[in-house]
Structure 1
Amino acid sequence: MTITDPTFYRSPAEAIAAPREQLAYVVTFDRAGVLPDALAVVDVDENSAAYGTVVGWADLPTTGNELHHFGWNACSSALMHEGHDMGEDGLQRRFLLLPGLRSSRIHVYDTQPDPRSPRLHKTVEAKELAERAGYSRPHTLHCGPDGVFLTCLGGADGNDGPGGIALLDHTTFDVLRAWETDRGPQYLAYDAWWHLNQNTLISSEWGTPSMIEDGLVPELLLGQEYGHRLHFWDLAEGRNLQTVDLGPQHQMTLELRPSHDPEATWGYVGVVVSTADLSASVWRWHREGTEWQVDEIITIPAEPADPADLPPALQPFGAVPPLVTDIDLSVDDQMLYVSCWGTGELKQFDVSDPASPHEVGSAHLGGIVRRAAHPAAPSERLAGGPQMVEVSRDGRRIYVTNSLYGAWDDQFYPDGVGAWMAKIDTDPAAGGLDIDQRFFPHGEDFRGRRAHQVRLQGGDASSDSYCYR
């Protein structure tokens, strides 16, 4: 009898109905590159005596990696590919791949047999990524039907590009090749995700290594040289089919969140900042006939501020930009979460009508000026803000962490960004955000490292793509 990993869900509805997560995995990093970066394990079982505390920890064997985005070796999309061994010892959601954005290494951790004690399984060196795929600075990964798609910001050996996607084997973790066969006008890279049943991959743009590694470069921003386009590709062939320019003022098209409905042909992308007025925005892509269109559907304005309260980079503007650095879409495609790292706000939008969102919830933590406290520590002015956001499969719990990227943290929070993680509860039908007072790992809970991204045991809203309704 074939035994399939029970966390490979055939449909969004099956994922929503599955048992809730008990653990969260969090990548942490040392900005100075002296301490090793680490994978932390946090207890998220509300009935546990250890709820809201770090219960597992794995130091990397190397330093200077700057862990950033990470993910599973395999997930629900594997059900689309008939060639997998799905037996008891076959393909499973078992390994977490941890790319180092500065080192270009990829550390692979095994979460079995004890999910609280991940063990180093393999290290993929920068040389292998460069020689086999021609890339460096690995950023985001998604588990696909027949491999791991790893987006990379730089060309071989850290040169400025083009960036693109490396394909890795999701059992051996060998780097196989560059995924693209015809990149067309694409040069900058950031995220990539897909509509599996439409054979379409979408990719977004940030900047090359030299544009990001020492912080935001004002001259490049005002010169509108960061990414502002989306690219649509033939997923099977790795061929660029269409490029849509959002307009050069819309700088940094980052996180992609396609609809989870496998038959739908729409999704969302967040834009960090407009050079016209410091606003941030969310755009919706959708297919009209054979062409893809992208429309702005949410605009979040900057907030006026006393220049004395601002970091040097923002003082000339007298305002705090929202800086939308992450978005996340609930598995039922009903709620969109938008993290405003600059103003320290998580916004919740009802997107039951995908083209006409309306705001139904808001929560404040941190912020460049506001410094909103967590209810568990009301006297502590928080730095950073909701940055990476992850939603549970059932849509009831939202987890946020506060660090963006080391050099950018230092620019916008020059007095220190700290380290914290929060959990926010919601009603997935009606909306509304309630910060959990019992859940606040922060400070030395992360042993002197900054907290960046969360992955949930059994999958989450940004881990999986589904093949069936």
Structure 2
Amino acid sequence: MTGPSAQSQTDPTFYRSPGDAIAAPPEKLAYVVAFDRTAAKPDALATVDVDPDSGTYGSVVGWSELPTTGDELHHFGWNACSSAFAHTGHDTDGLRRRFLLLPGLRSSNIHVFDTEPDPRQPVLHKTVTAAELAEKAGYSRPHTSHCGPDGVYLSCLGAGEGSGGPGGIALLDHDTFDVVRAWETDRGPQYLAYDAWWHLNRNTLITSEWGTPSMIEDGLNPELLLAQKYGHALHFWDLAEGRHRQRVDLGEQYQIVLELRPSHDPEATWGFAGVAVSTEDLSASVWRWHLEGDTWVVDKVITVPAEPADAADLPPALRPFGAVPPLISDIGLSVDDQFLYVSCWGTGELKQFDVSDPARPRETGSVRLGGITGRVPHPAAPSLRLGGGPQMVEVSRDGRRIYVTNSLYGSWDDQFYPDGVGAWMAKLETDPAAGGGLRVDGKCFLHGDDFRGLRPHQVRLSGGDASSDSYCFR
């Protein structure tokens, strides 16, 4: 473990504790991946000015295109972060939060961009090919990357050949970005994959389940959904050994277990998982995992019901049900572990919950933008009926700013918003000291031509954000 005296020699955006991260200077830039649904133009990494004191606040100030087409950028992440303090045998003095890894969910390529020397205009550093990922790790369709204690962990939805499974985690070298191997040494019953996160101080990694590439790439398959074939379990692993330890089934009706958000307190042993839909009533839900003795236990702590709607106002896939499902597609936990943000992409609502008691969340705020039937406009463009809804959510380290983008996944966008999902990014504000509540920032709203015809998906903030880092010390 790196000693306290070495702190000044490491990247200042490596924070030893959540408190240090919260106290650090606020972000001035946001990095946003955006993709071309037609696959005719290259996807891009956009740089957005989020400094309210800047003359270009709320606008795109950098644009870095990929050298390929058809990648469909989805999630992305840093090469290194605060987990560097947990490294053994790694030179933390030379390690920096510098490179962004951009996996292509359709192409299986991984494009690495360098944010130095000009943070506003990242440049392509390296491309890790689909062939290397398949050959060295046996995986395809890379989804989420996390900077970890012995490399970059890259969750993948599919096996190396074809569009089936099992999905899993590929391990990449921090410095060269070469694919090292598959992380798992014993996967047990795990087959479907999606997100991966951990409790570093408990030597525990958690994974969730969505589906294989063939199950998700053409949209939500109603037959598979009603047959309860999508993921509905969490898996707990030995982080150091890559061995499966425990599977917890949430119940087969709870379909599509997506984002994982563990507590930032390194000594805590709880976190949240979002579930997109229940086949019983189209509701969505959030579940808490926690440790009881030596056993991980999972229980439902938030339920968001479906909203009745006239069939004529619904896309074809939902007309038989006469309701809009919330479709929880992302959740975000503030660095102080006080507030949980829940994106209800179907209804167009972002909910805020006080989770000071994680077993009993209490709703403290709500904002609506877009939505399948609501199409609620942004205050900055009151005549523009928005497609999509709050989808990916990112929270600033101090917990005062929340950024949302509206695109989920190309084929799913088209299925649930057949008349057009559009493209937009919004910023919201809250005051944690005053007990929360949400307010839309009227000056930071990117839409229309801001993303040059591409759909924005995920946001990363300069210096780190609430879902980038894991901490080693209190």
Question: The TM-score by the shorter chain falls in which range?
Answer: over 0.9
* Structure 2 match to 1:188: 192
Does the 8 A contact of 2:85 with 2:92 survive in 1?
Answer: no
Does the 8 A contact of 1:112 with 1:118 survive in 2?
Answer: yes
Task: Give the counterpart of 1:69 among 75, 85, 107.
Answer: 75
**In structure 2, how many angstroms separate the alpha carbons of the residues matched to 1:243 and 1:421?**
36
**In structure 1, how many angstroms separate the alpha carbons of the residues matched to 2:111 and 2:155?**
15
Quick check: 1:442 aligned with 2:443?
no
Task: Give the counterpart of 2:246 among 221, 229, 242.
Answer: 242
Q: Using the TM superposition, give the Cα deviation of residue 6 of structure 1 relative to its aligned residue in structure 2, in angstroms.
A: 0.1
1:357-376 paired onto structure 2 within 5 Å: 357-376=361-380
Q: Using the TM superposition, give the Cα deviation of residue 81 of structure 1 relative to its aligned residue in structure 2, in angstroms.
A: 1.2
Quick check: 1:81 aligned with 2:87?
yes
**In structure 1, how many angstroms separate the alpha carbons of the residues matched to 2:123 and 2:424?**
24
Structure 1 runs of 4+ off > 6 angstroms?
Answer: none
Equivalent residues, number: 467
- 1:69-116 CA distances to partner (integer Å, 9 max, x unpaired)? 0000000001111422233xx110000000000000000000001000
Task: Give the counterpart of 2:353 among 349, 356, 359.
Answer: 349
* Structure 2 match to 1:51: 57
Q: Using the TM superposition, give the Cα deviation of residue 443 of structure 1 relative to its aligned residue in structure 2, in angstroms.
A: 1.1
Q: Using the TM superposition, give the Cα deviation of residue 146 of structure 1 relative to its aligned residue in structure 2, in angstroms.
A: 1.3
- The SS at the match of 1:407 is helix
* Structure 2 match to 1:304: 308
Does the 8 A contact of 2:88 with 2:150 survive in 1?
Answer: no
One-letter identity of the residue aligned with 1:441: L
* Structure 2 match to 1:399: 403
Quick check: 1:23 aligned with 2:29?
yes
One-letter identity of the residue aligned with 1:294: V
1:148-159 paired onto structure 2 within 5 Å: 148-159=152-163
**In structure 1, how many angstroms separate the alpha carbons of the residues matched to 2:109 and 2:466?**
26
- The SS at the match of 1:129 is helix
**In structure 2, how many angstroms separate the alpha carbons of the residues matched to 1:335 and 1:320?**
26
* Structure 1 match to 2:259: 255
* Structure 2 match to 1:135: 139
Does the 8 A contact of 1:151 with 1:191 survive in 2?
Answer: yes
- The SS at the match of 1:79 is helix
One-letter identity of the residue aligned with 2:206: I
Task: Give the counterpart of 1:212 among 216, 219, 223.
Answer: 216
* Structure 1 match to 2:438: 433
- The SS at the match of 2:26 is coil
Query: TM-score normalized by structure 2?
Result: 0.98
One-letter identity of the residue aligned with 1:118: P
1:107-122 paired onto structure 2 within 5 Å: 107-122=111-126
**In structure 2, how many angstroms separate the alpha carbons of the residues matched to 1:242 and 1:11?**
29
**In structure 2, how many angstroms separate the alpha carbons of the residues matched to 1:408 and 1:44?**
29
- 1:366-402 CA distances to partner (integer Å, 9 max, x unpaired)? 0000000000000110000000000000000000000
* Structure 1 match to 2:462: 457
Does the 8 A contact of 1:182 with 1:240 survive in 2?
Answer: yes
Q: Using the TM superposition, give the Cα deviation of residue 312 of structure 1 relative to its aligned residue in structure 2, in angstroms.
A: 0.1
Task: Give the counterpart of 1:37 among 32, 36, 43.
Answer: 43
Q: Using the TM superposition, give the Cα deviation of residue 170 of structure 1 relative to its aligned residue in structure 2, in angstroms.
A: 1.1
- 1:242-276 CA distances to partner (integer Å, 9 max, x unpaired)? 00000000000000000000000000000000000
Task: Give the counterpart of 2:13 among 7, 17, 20.
Answer: 7
1:169-188 paired onto structure 2 within 5 Å: 169-188=173-192
Q: Using the TM superposition, give the Cα deviation of residue 223 of structure 1 relative to its aligned residue in structure 2, in angstroms.
A: 0.4
Does the 8 A contact of 1:137 with 1:158 survive in 2?
Answer: no
Q: Using the TM superposition, give the Cα deviation of residue 133 of structure 1 relative to its aligned residue in structure 2, in angstroms.
A: 0.2
Does the 8 A contact of 2:188 with 2:244 survive in 1?
Answer: yes
**In structure 1, how many angstroms separate the alpha carbons of the residues matched to 2:271 and 2:432?**
19
Q: Which stretch of the first structure deviates more once superposed, 61-70 or 157-166?
A: 157-166
- 1:164-185 CA distances to partner (integer Å, 9 max, x unpaired)? 0000011110000000000000
The Cα RMSD (Å) is 0.7
Q: Using the TM superposition, give the Cα deviation of residue 291 of structure 1 relative to its aligned residue in structure 2, in angstroms.
A: 0.5
* Structure 1 match to 2:340: 336
Unmatched runs of 5 consecutive residues or more in structure 2:
none
Task: Give the counterpart of 1:388 among 382, 385, 392.
Answer: 392
Q: Using the TM superposition, give the Cα deviation of residue 145 of structure 1 relative to its aligned residue in structure 2, in angstroms.
A: 1.2
**In structure 2, how many angstroms separate the alpha carbons of the residues matched to 1:119 and 1:84?**
25
**In structure 2, how many angstroms separate the alpha carbons of the residues matched to 1:182 and 1:310?**
44
- The SS at the match of 1:317 is coil
Q: Which stretch of the first structure deviates more once superposed, 1-10 or 232-241?
A: 1-10
Query: TM-score normalized by structure 1?
Result: 0.99
Q: Using the TM superposition, give the Cα deviation of residue 157 of structure 1 relative to its aligned residue in structure 2, in angstroms.
A: 2.9
Unmatched runs of 5 consecutive residues or more in structure 1:
none
**In structure 1, how many angstroms separate the alpha carbons of the residues matched to 2:331 and 2:217?**
22
* Structure 2 match to 1:317: 321
